């Protein structure tokens, strides 16, 4: 009886996982002539995993193909693929900055409309391969779930520390702006006073020369 429960649970799982795959990720509409770009600011040493699939619902026509280009903040090409209907790419971010993934329609596009692409983009903790961790360290069940939670909490903590440093930077910039505005306004005011004094002196000299005073 228990074996039946286990088997039915497993079957349910695999059916469920099919349902899960459908809804994950975000769908982009790539217009036929333009580039559609997606980017994310990624810190150093963060793993990025992405999956893209062209969604087509017209079985009569050939699937439209897209070309994908992923670039690093310094312009290095990380992944480049033409005429693809699906694919995936993974990389570890060695430079902190804005990573860009651009999609554009190339090749055949019968029907001419926007091409729907399902993009699943995972960074950092979401990209971690928990199955291999479970296999390597031989943990399962509750312990694995708690490990995942620990990873998620660590990621949140890192984000919070990053926000704190950003706030500190903004605070220094604000204080510097405050100092600059104060001193340079005083300088501006000083110049105004000096110039008007010069003006008075010059005009007085002028009128004295013209024998009016």
Partner 1 sequence: MGLWGLRHAVAMAALCLVLLRSRGTEGLRLWIEEGEECFSQGVKYEGDSFHVSFVVIKDNSPWHHSANADGIDLVIKGPSGEQILDFRDRKSLTISFMAPSKGIYHLCFINKSPYHESIYFDVHVGHLKSLKPSEQHLQDAHVTPLMEQIAKLEEALDNIVFEQHWLKAETHRQAIVNDGMSRRAIPKAVIESVALVGASVLQVYLLQRLFNRKLGASVLKV
Report which secondary-structure segment, H or E, holds 200: helix 142-209
Structure tokens at 38: 């997606």
Q: Which residue has the tokens 């770009």?
A: 37
Q: Which is nearer to partner 1, 90 or 149 (CB)?
A: 149
Q: Which is nearer to partner 1, 83 or 187 (CB)?
A: 187
Cβ atoms 52, 87 nearer than 8 A: yes
Distance CA 202, CA 190 (A): 18
Q: Which is nearer to partner 1, 108 or 198 (CB)?
A: 198
Beta carbon of residue 111, minimum distance to partner 1 (angstroms, whole number): 17
- Angle separating helix axes 142-209 and 130-137, nearest 10 degrees: 130
Beta carbon of residue 174, minimum distance to partner 1 (angstroms, whole number): 6
Q: Which is nearer to partner 1, 16 or 107 (CB)?
A: 16
Beta carbon of residue 130, minimum distance to partner 1 (angstroms, whole number): 7
DSSP track, 76-127: -EEEEEEEESEEEEEEE--S-EEEEEEEEEES--TT-SPEEEEEEEEEGGGG
Beta carbon of residue 47, minimum distance to partner 1 (angstroms, whole number): 15
Structure tokens at 37: 């770009």
Beta carbon of residue 16, minimum distance to partner 1 (angstroms, whole number): 5
Q: Which is nearer to partner 1, 7 or 62 (CB)?
A: 7
Strand partners, 51: 88, 120
């Amino acid at each position: 009886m228990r074996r039946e429960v286990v088997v039915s649970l497993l079957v349910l799982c695999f059916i469920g996982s099919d349902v899960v795959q459908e809804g994950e990720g975000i769908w982009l509409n790539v217009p036929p002539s333009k580039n559609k770009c997606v980017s994310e600011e990624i810190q150093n040493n963060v793993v990025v995993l992405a999956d893209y699939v062209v969604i087509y619902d017209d079985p009569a026509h050939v699937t439209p193909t897209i070309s994908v280009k992923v670039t690093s903040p310094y312009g290095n090409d990380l992944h480049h693929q033409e005429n693809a209907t699906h694919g995936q790419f993974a990389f570890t971010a060695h430079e902190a900055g804005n990573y860009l993934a651009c999609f554009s329609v190339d090749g055949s596009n019968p029907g001419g409309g926007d091409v729907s692409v399902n993009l699943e983009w995972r960074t950092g903790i979401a990209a971690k391969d928990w199955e291999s961790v479970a296999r390597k360290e031989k943990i399962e069940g509750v312990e694995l779930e708690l490990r995942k939670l620990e990873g998620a909490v660590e990621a949140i903590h890192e984000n919070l520390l990053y926000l704190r440093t950003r706030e500190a930077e903004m605070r220094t910039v604000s204080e510097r702006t405050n100092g600059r505005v104060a001193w340079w306004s005083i300088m501006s005011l000083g110049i105004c006073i000096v110039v008007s004094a010069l003006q008075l002196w010059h005009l007085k000299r002028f009128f004295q020369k013209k024998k009016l005073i």
